[in-house]
């Protein structure tokens, strides 16, 4: 055998772990003040196994090469009026939802990883988090650049960071990340690196990127490939975190299980927006939400949790409920947006007859029974010139901040509603999952900034809804919101296509 | 038609079928390579092609960029061999791995003994000495049978001019049937070795637990004999699992060793003793014997497992519940030709177990 050369592992070690130093005159505990308060016990940081070995010099080289490729595509897209190649102008609304709902999360991830990348006593974990932080910053930048050409041609793209902080349905993704970032450093990694990036990320990225590919959006699909080449590092970090915590001390097992339960449930609630996008917003469908759930969670996640059982970790709590909900959530979400289409920053519409048939075929157990009749009614009203918009503001779940729209899986015709009292105040929830999360940390969730409550308390301007939408949310009324039919987006599209 | 892919720096060999990816073949044959997405977008499985021709397959241009293609980088999850290959992967060479070269040997059958009603002990003498590490295996060329069959070496490396194998007759298995029914003393066969990453991690001084099930006593026997020969001072525990007394072979040899060496402990376990066995030892599966002996706590040990997949899986679960983890668990799974074809989908959580 040839003489052993300095392999990647040793090289990485020299460029990471050897950068740590002993604390001779400061107390190490004070240098890493957040490491213990969550109850996690770390006995030996040297057991941390680097989830990937990418040295900074190689990192810059690769990323620069990727950027060059990516921006060449962006340039070509702009020069060739790539926006005219999308399948249908309705598709662009999925991009609006992504830009306002997901891209700011990449920025939150950048901040979150930069923070925890300072807080771990172990240098291996610190370096991995810092590198992911840089990736996330790259992702938000490239996403914005991928989607920005649409801003010249379609409504609703003009003030996405502002909207992310204020708009009612965008508080769902925002509060998800706020919750993770205000946890301790280990909870943040279990929440984002493991539960989201490893267990659930394929349910977000694969549908969105394949959706872009199926609908002629070259910019977004290329961004997707570029980001996915980074995602693998994020996923392996998620796996290493979970193994490391579970192996360090047996007292960590119940804490990690609790976090997995919480973040799996929170992630599922967040993904109802993705389910809706897949089933309703993509004119050319990729697969149904139900199928995606079966492939990416039930099969892949099933194998993972079978392996995790060896550590004493069980399937996330309420995974059985989610398995039933896969038949329902996308329909409930799009119906809610359709009914509140005047208060959304993108357009809504009734599925075409062909799409309704596709939904019937993909959801034989539930669509015709529960959801098709609603769309038939909406069609009838629209034909009579009575397209309706719900005027009352919805009750929001205190934990996930989704309007009360989910039904009880024991009785899918009934709204699911839970409540609890804390210090004499009553709090409302969409599910046992969300109610349990609140009860475990009530002091955290009583501070939730619930958009509907804030409106009623007069903190969002107003008093009328249109004033709030216009002045507080920065919507261009009559252009960003309302039905696709008759929208300026639709008008312009017709003009371009007939030109 | 299949191609042989050698993975450097460990020197492991993988047989890849026509149209199969390197990663798929490697994982199915128990050779771990880093991977994540499995479909060419993440680049976790990036390797350097050292020799040979491949079709790089559907690798994403962002996961495998043009400059990298020019340098001969490939993604194992997409690359399909078009010749025998040598690839260099991001895998670690264990510091205890000696890297003895694989060579071909002429092996003449010296003795055939019935170890149990289903297991024969075969001793070959080799045309020259073979350097190997206790725990490794050889590939045997069996006359009239396509491909080779893998068997663990049961003798210690000090008996370098011999290879002792414990061969259980696999129901419906052509290779083991030939050995059981037709092989004669004096026959000469071709064998190649040594192979495998299952060997004693001597640099780690922790006490060692060996678990062998059925004919999987072979490797642990070799490893234990070697440690005892060398006068290794660590505590050595050997658990042997069998169905009944008739199947519990080499028991006297091991009891004898336990009497002579204070640091060697031999614990046989029978899961279905016969009435006439008058069995007074542990009754139950071997992983339960291990759990019972150590009261379910294994921290501070190294474990070496050898035997059929269900035994290995049960033992891993027991050890992990007792807080012994992947880095301290080493194993050799006896996968039959039929097992290999029905591999289940698995997560990326564990590398080797």
Q: Quick one: pLDDT at residue B8? A: 87
User: Is A393:A469 a contact under the CB 8 Å cutoff?
Assistant: no
CA distance B346 to chain A (A): 5
Report the DSSP beta bridge partners of residue B50.
none
> Would the pLDDT of A328 be above 80?
yes
Q: Which residue has the tokens 């996690």?
A: A40
B202 occurs within a structural domain: no
Question: What's the pLDDT band for B95 if we cut at 50, 70, 90?
Answer: confident
Give the separation between CA B340 and CA B28, rounded to whole angstroms: 7
Distance of CA A389 to CAs A166, A248, A340, A478, B4, Å? 21, 54, 6, 14, 66
Give the separation between CA A108 and CA A315, rounded to whole angstroms: 28
> Would the pLDDT of A5 be above 70?
no
The most confident of the ranges A233-247, B51-65, B250-264 is: B250-264
Tell me, yes or no, whether B211 and B336 share the same domain. yes
CATH (domain of B123): 2.40.30.10
Tell me, yes or no, whether B216 and B329 share the same domain. yes
More confident residue, A260 or B63: A260
- The total number of residues shown for chain A amounts to 499
Q: What is the mean pLDDT of chain A?
A: 93
What would the pLDDT profile of A338-350 be if each residue is shown by its tens digit? 999 999 999 999 9
Contacts of B39 (CB under 8 A, 6+ apart): B58, B77, B78
State whether A310 and B348 contact (CB < 8 Å).
no
Nearest CA in chain B to A240: B349
B23 occurs within a structural domain: yes
What would the pLDDT profile of A8-39 be if each residue is shown by its tens digit? 777 787 877 777 888 899 998 899 999 999 99
> Would the pLDDT of B342 be above 80?
no
**Stretch among A201-205, A360-364, B194-198 having the lowest mean pLDDT:** A201-205
Q: Tell me the average pLDDT across A38-43.
A: 96
Total number of domains in chain B: 3
**Stretch among A3-17, A230-244, A369-383, B271-285 having the lowest mean pLDDT:** A3-17
- Please tell me if residue B316 touches chain A, with a CB cutoff of 8 Å: yes
> Would the pLDDT of A375 be above 80?
yes
State whether B65 and A65 contact (CB < 8 Å).
yes
Q: Quick one: pLDDT at residue B344? A: 55
Report the DSSP beta bridge partners of residue B88.
B8, B48
Q: Quick one: pLDDT at residue B337? A: 60
- Please tell me if residue A64 touches chain B, with a CB cutoff of 8 Å: no
Set out the domains of chain A in order of their start, with CATH numbers: 29-340 (1.10.620.20)
Tell me, yes or no, whether B309 and B329 share the same domain. yes
Closest residue by Cα to residue A94 from A349, A373, A357: A349
Query: What b/e readout covers A130-161, taking b as 16+ CB neighbours within 10 angstroms?
Result: bbbbbbbbbbbebbbebbebbeebbbbbebbe
Question: What's the pLDDT band for B295 if we cut at 50, 70, 90?
Answer: very high
Closest residue by Cα to residue A389 from A353, A344, A330, A450: A344
> Would the pLDDT of B148 be above 90?
no
SS3 of residue A465 by DSSP: helix
* C-alpha B27 chain-centroid distance: 14
In terms of C-beta density within 10 A (0-12 exposed, 13-18 middle, 19 or more buried), how is residue A19 classed? exposed
Question: What's the pLDDT band for B341 if we cut at 50, 70, 90?
Answer: very low
What would the pLDDT profile of B205-228 be if each residue is shown by its tens digit? 999 999 999 999 999 999 999 999
CA distance B62 to chain A (A): 5
Nearest CA in chain A to B346: A303
Q: Quick one: pLDDT at residue A7? A: 67
User: Is A175:A437 a contact under the CB 8 Å cutoff?
Assistant: no
User: Is B8:B85 a contact under the CB 8 Å cutoff?
Assistant: no
CA distance B66 to chain A (A): 9
Closest residue by Cα to residue B301 from B208, B198, B238: B208
Distance of CA B271 to CAs B116, B214, B235, B288, Å? 16, 11, 25, 10
Task: Give B231's Cβ-side CA count (13 Å radius).
Answer: 0
B33 occurs within a structural domain: yes
- Please tell me if residue B127 touches chain A, with a CB cutoff of 8 Å: no
Interface test with B, best of A46, A228, A295 (most B CBs within 10 A): A228
Tell me, yes or no, whether B190 and B111 share the same domain. yes
Percent of chain A beyond pLDDT 70? 98
Tell me, yes or no, whether B158 and B117 share the same domain. yes
User: Is B167:B122 a contact under the CB 8 Å cutoff?
Assistant: yes
What would the pLDDT profile of B23-57 be if each residue is shown by its tens digit? 988 877 778 888 777 788 878 889 999 999 999 99
Distance of CA A16 to CAs A9, A26, A56, A387, B270, Å? 10, 22, 10, 61, 50
Chain A contacts in chain B segment 17-36 (CB below 8 A)? 36
Q: Tell me the average pLDDT across A427-451.
A: 97
Tell me, yes or no, whether B328 and B226 share the same domain. yes
State the residue range of the domain holding B67.
2-88
Q: Quick one: pLDDT at residue A1? A: 47
For B319, the enclosing helix (H) or strand (E) is helix B309-321
Tell me, yes or no, whether B25 and B115 share the same domain. no
User: Is A66:B62 a contact under the CB 8 Å cutoff?
Assistant: yes
Give the separation between CA A185 and CA B180, rounded to whole angstroms: 60
State whether A307 and B347 contact (CB < 8 Å).
yes
User: Is B210:B236 a contact under the CB 8 Å cutoff?
Assistant: yes
Tell me, yes or no, whether B302 and B218 share the same domain. yes
Q: Which token pair is B276?
A: 């006439």
Task: Give A89's Cβ-side CA count (13 Å radius).
Answer: 23
CATH (domain of B51): 3.10.20.30
B351 occurs within a structural domain: no
Q: Which token pair is B269?
A: 């376990």
Nearest CA in chain B to A66: B62
What would the pLDDT profile of B154-187 be if each residue is shown by its tens digit? 999 999 999 999 999 988 888 999 999 999 999 9
Chain A contacts in chain B segment 193-222 (CB below 8 A)? none
Question: What's the pLDDT band for A413 if we cut at 50, 70, 90?
Answer: very high
Tell me, yes or no, whether B84 and B157 share the same domain. no
Q: Which residue has the tokens 């249908």?
A: A88
Write down which residue in B143, B167, B195 finishes a domain: B195
| Number of neighbouring beta carbons within 10 Å of residue A10 | 13
Write down which residue in B63, B88, B113 finishes a domain: B88
Find the radius of gyration of the CA atoms of chain B. 21
What would the pLDDT profile of A53-84 be if each residue is shown by its tens digit? 788 888 888 899 899 999 999 999 999 999 99
CATH (domain of B334): 3.40.50.80
User: Is B36:B26 a contact under the CB 8 Å cutoff?
Assistant: no
B95 occurs within a structural domain: no
- Please tell me if residue B102 touches chain A, with a CB cutoff of 8 Å: no
SS3 of residue A153 by DSSP: coil
Beta-sheet pairing, B236-242 with B264-270: parallel
Sign of the C-alpha dihedral, residues B17, B20, B25, B28? negative
Residue of A69, A232, A310 lying closest to B37 (CB–CB): A232
Tell me, yes or no, whether B185 and B158 share the same domain. yes
Q: What is the DSSP letter of A3?
A: P
B107 occurs within a structural domain: yes
B22 occurs within a structural domain: yes
Tell me, yes or no, whether B326 and B229 share the same domain. yes
Q: Tell me the average pLDDT across A392-412.
A: 95
- Please tell me if residue A72 touches chain B, with a CB cutoff of 8 Å: no
State whether B67 and A69 contact (CB < 8 Å).
no
What would the pLDDT profile of A170-209 be if each residue is shown by its tens digit? 999 999 999 999 999 999 999 999 998 888 888 887 788 8
User: Is A365:A290 a contact under the CB 8 Å cutoff?
Assistant: no
Write down which residue in B169, B195, B221 finishes a domain: B195
CA distance A82 to chain B (A): 21
- Please tell me if residue B344 touches chain A, with a CB cutoff of 8 Å: yes
Q: Quick one: pLDDT at residue B166? A: 97
Q: Tell me the average pLDDT across A363-382.
A: 97
Give chain B positions within 8 Å (CB) of A239: 348-349
B167 occurs within a structural domain: yes
Tell me, yes or no, whether B150 and B252 share the same domain. no
Give the separation between CA A123 and CA B88, rounded to whole angstroms: 28
Give chain A positions within 8 Å (CB) of B65: 62, 65-66, 69
Nearest CA in chain B to A3: B9
For B121, the enclosing helix (H) or strand (E) is strand B119-126
């Amino acid at each position: 055998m040839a003489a052993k050369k300095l392999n990647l592992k040793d090289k990485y070690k020299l460029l990471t772990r050897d950068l740590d130093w002993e604390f001779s005159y400061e107390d190490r505990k004070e240098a890493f003040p957040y490491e213990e308060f969550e109850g996690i016990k770390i006995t030996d940081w040297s057991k941390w196994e680097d989830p990937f070995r990418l040295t900074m010099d190689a990192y810059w080289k690769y990323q620069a090469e990727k950027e060059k490729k990516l921006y060449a595509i962006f340039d070509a897209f702009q020069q060739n009026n790539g926006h005219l190649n999308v399948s249908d102008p309705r598709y662009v609304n999925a991009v609006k939802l992504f830009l306002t709902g997901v891209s700011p999360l990449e920025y939150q991830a950048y901040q979150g990883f930069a923070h925890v990348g300072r807080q771990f006593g172990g240098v291996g974990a610190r370096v991995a988090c810092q590198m992911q932080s840089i990736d996330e910053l790259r992702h938000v930048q490239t996403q914005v650049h991928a989607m920005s050409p649409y801003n010249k041609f379609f409504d609703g793209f003009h003030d996405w960071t502002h909207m992310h902080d204020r708009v009612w349905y965008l508080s769902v993704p925002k509060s998800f990340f706020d919750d993770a970032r205000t946890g301790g450093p280990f909870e943040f990694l279990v929440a984002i690196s493991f539960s989201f990036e490893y267990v659930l990320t394929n349910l977000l990225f694969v549908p969105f990127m394949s959706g872009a590919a199926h609908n002629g959006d070259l910019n977004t699909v290329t961004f997707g490939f570029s980001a996915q080449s980074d995602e693998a590092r994020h996923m392996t970090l998620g796996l290493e975190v979970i193994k490391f915590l579970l192996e360090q001390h047996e007292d960590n097992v119940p804490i990690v299980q609790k976090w997995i339960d919480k973040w799996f449930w929170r992630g599922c609630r967040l993904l109802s927006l993705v389910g809706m996008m897949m089933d309703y917003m993509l004119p050319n469908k990729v697969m149904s939400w139900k199928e995606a759930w079966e492939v990416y969670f039930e099969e892949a996640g099933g194998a993972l949790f079978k392996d995790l059982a060896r550590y004493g970790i069980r399937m996330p709590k309420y995974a059985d409920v989610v398995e039933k909900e896969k038949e329902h959530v996308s329909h409930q979400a799009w119906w809610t947006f359709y009914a509140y289409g005047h208060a959304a920053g993108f357009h809504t519409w009734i599925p075409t007859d062909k799409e309704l048939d596709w939904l019937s075929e993909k959801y034989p157990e539930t669509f015709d029974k529960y959801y098709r009749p609603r769309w038939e009614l909406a069609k009838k009203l629209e034909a009579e010139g009575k397209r309706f918009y719900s005027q009352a503001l919805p009750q929001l779940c205190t934990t996930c901040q989704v309007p009360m729209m989910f039904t009880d899986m024991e009785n899918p015709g009934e709204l699911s509603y839970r409540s609890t009292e804390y210090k004499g105040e009553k709090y409302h929830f969409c599910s046992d999952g969300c109610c349990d999360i609140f009860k475990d940390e009530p002091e955290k969730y009583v501070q939730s900034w619930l958009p509907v409550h804030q409106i009623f308390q007069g903190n969002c301007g107003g008093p009328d809804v249109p004033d709030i939408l216009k002045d507080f949310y920065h919507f261009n009324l009559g252009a960003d919101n309302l039905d696709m039919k008759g929208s300026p987006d639709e008008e312009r599209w017709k003009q371009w296509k007939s030109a | 038609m299949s191609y042989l892919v050698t993975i450097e720096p460990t020197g492991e060999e993988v047989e890849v079928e026509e149209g199969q990816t390197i990663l798929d073949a490697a994982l199915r044959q128990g050779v771990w390579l880093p991977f994540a997405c499995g479909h060419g977008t993440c680049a976790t499985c990036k390797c350097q092609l050292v020799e040979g021709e491949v079709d790089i397959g559907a690798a994403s241009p962002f996961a495998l960029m043009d400059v990298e293609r020019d340098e001969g980088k490939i993604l194992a999850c997409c690359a399909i061999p078009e010749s025998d290959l040598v690839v260099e992967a991001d895998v670690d060479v264990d510091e205890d791995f000696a890297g003895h070269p694989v060579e071909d040997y002429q092996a003449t059958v010296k003795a055939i003994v019935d170890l149990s009603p289903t297991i024969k002990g075969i001793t070959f003498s080799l045309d020259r000495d073979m350097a190997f590490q206790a725990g490794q295996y050889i590939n045997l060329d069996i006359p009239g049978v396509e491909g080779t069959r893998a068997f663990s070496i049961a003798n210690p490396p000090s008996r370098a001019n011999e290879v002792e194998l414990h061969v259980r007759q696999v129901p419906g298995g052509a290779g083991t049937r030939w050995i059981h029914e037709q092989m004669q003393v004096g026959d000469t066969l071709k064998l190649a070795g040594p192979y495998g990453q299952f060997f004693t991690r001597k640099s780690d001084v922790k006490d060692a637990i060996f678990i062998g099930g059925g004919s999987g006593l072979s490797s642990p026997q070799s490893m234990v004999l070697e440690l005892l020969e060398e006068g290794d001072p660590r505590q050595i525990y050997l658990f042997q699992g069998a169905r009944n007394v008739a199947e519990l072979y080499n028991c006297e040899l091991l009891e004898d060793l336990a009497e002579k060496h204070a640091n060697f402990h031999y614990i046989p376990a029978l899961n279905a003793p016969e009435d006439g066995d008058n069995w007074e030892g542990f009754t139950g599966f071997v992983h339960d014997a291990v759990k019972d002996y150590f009261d379910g706590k294994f921290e501070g040990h190294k474990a070496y497992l050898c035997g059929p997949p269900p035994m290995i899986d049960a033992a891993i679960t027991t050890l992990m519940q007792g807080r012994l983890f992947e880095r301290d668990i080493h194993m050799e799974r006896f996968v039959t030709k039929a097992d290999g074809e029905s591999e289940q989908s698995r997560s990326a959580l564990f590398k080797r177990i």
